[in-house]
């Protein structure tokens, strides 16, 4: 690793990226749905805060439609969506209006209901490290921050300007994080609700011997440090939805 001292880029101008486990940086901003005080306005709810490079860009337009089409699934999981662009509120409104008339996939026009932040001065983008100078000097990269009910950043995803996001993966990640909190387990590679989950590894010799010596129903001990447990998709969703009420 090395410090980036690229010509024209003072080290103090480099994005200060919040990390997983950090409190989400606070801000007050105008949005297409009114003023937002973040994250306090979303206390008690999960939030997906995502950025896009600019209004009226083709890839971003498909992403907005995809997010809107899945918004009920996110709301069922007590999760709100808020977008950001380095653009004006007027530009955001004009873009939303244009999307209402776009036919894409099976949609004959989509009404965008989630708020889009006016961040023309790049205040919020800088707080969240969304401006990557070697990618673009004027646009935010495609960032996704998943923030929990306590305002803590739980996951961060970055995509380049040219590549649209996988929204099924974002939904899967929200479910996985909430499952971890609700059941005190971890999720293995490629996990989907209904797949086996991972039980915490033993931390003492006695626990290690007990784990490998006692076979419990629903447990699959692959090794003392890797134990899988069955957890149905139905039981997961019932508990997650119940927890939101």
Given a contact cutoff of 8 angstroms between Cβ atoms, the answer to whether 158 and 135 are in contact is: no
Query: Is 4 an annotated catalytic residue?
Result: no
Helix, strand and coil content of the chain, in percent to the nearest 5, comes to: 30, 25, 45
Q: Which of 67, 98, 96, 65 is CA-nearest to residue 81?
A: 67
DSSP code at position 184: S
> From CA 48, how far away is CA 156, in angstroms rounded?
10
Helix ranges restricted to H, the chain: 58-69, 71-76, 89-99, 123-127, 167-183, 205-213, 233-244
Which entry of 60, 82, 86, 112 is annotated as an active-site residue?
Answer: 60
Q: Under DSSP, is residue 84 helix (H, G, I), strand (E, B) or coil?
A: strand
> From CA 238, how far away is CA 217, in angstroms rounded?
22
Given a contact cutoff of 8 angstroms between Cβ atoms, the answer to whether 81 and 114 are in contact is: yes
First-last CA distance in the chain: 46
Active site residues: 60
């Amino acid at each position: 690793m090395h410090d980036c001292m690229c010509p024209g880029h003072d080290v103090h101008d480099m994005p200060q990226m919040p990390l997983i486990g950090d409190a989400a940086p606070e801000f007050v901003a105008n949005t297409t749905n009114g003023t937002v005080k973040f994250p306090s306005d979303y206390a008690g709810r999960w939030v997906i805060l995502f950025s896009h490079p600019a209004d009226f860009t083709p890839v971003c337009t498909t992403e907005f439609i995809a997010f809107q089409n899945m918004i009920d699934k996110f709301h069922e999981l007590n999760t709100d969506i808020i977008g950001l662009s380095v653009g004006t509120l007027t530009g955001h409104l004009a873009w939303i209006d244009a999307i209402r008339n776009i036919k894409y996939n099976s949609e004959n026009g989509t009404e965008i209901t989630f708020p889009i932040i006016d961040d023309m001065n790049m205040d919020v983008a800088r707080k969240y490290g969304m401006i990557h100078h070697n990618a673009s000097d004027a646009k935010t990269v495609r960032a996704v921050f998943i923030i929990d009910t306590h305002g803590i950043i739980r996951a961060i995803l970055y995509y380049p300007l040219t590549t649209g996001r996988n929204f099924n993966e974002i939904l899967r990640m929200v479910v996985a994080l909430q499952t971890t909190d609700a059941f005190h387990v971890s999720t293995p590679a490629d996990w989907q609700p209904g797949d086996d989950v991972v039980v915490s590894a033993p931390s003492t010799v006695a626990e290690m011997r007990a784990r490998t010596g006692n076979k419990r129903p629903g447990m699959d001990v692959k090794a003392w440090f890797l134990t899988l447990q069955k957890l149905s998709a139905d039981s997961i969703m019932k508990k997650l939805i119940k927890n939101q009420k």
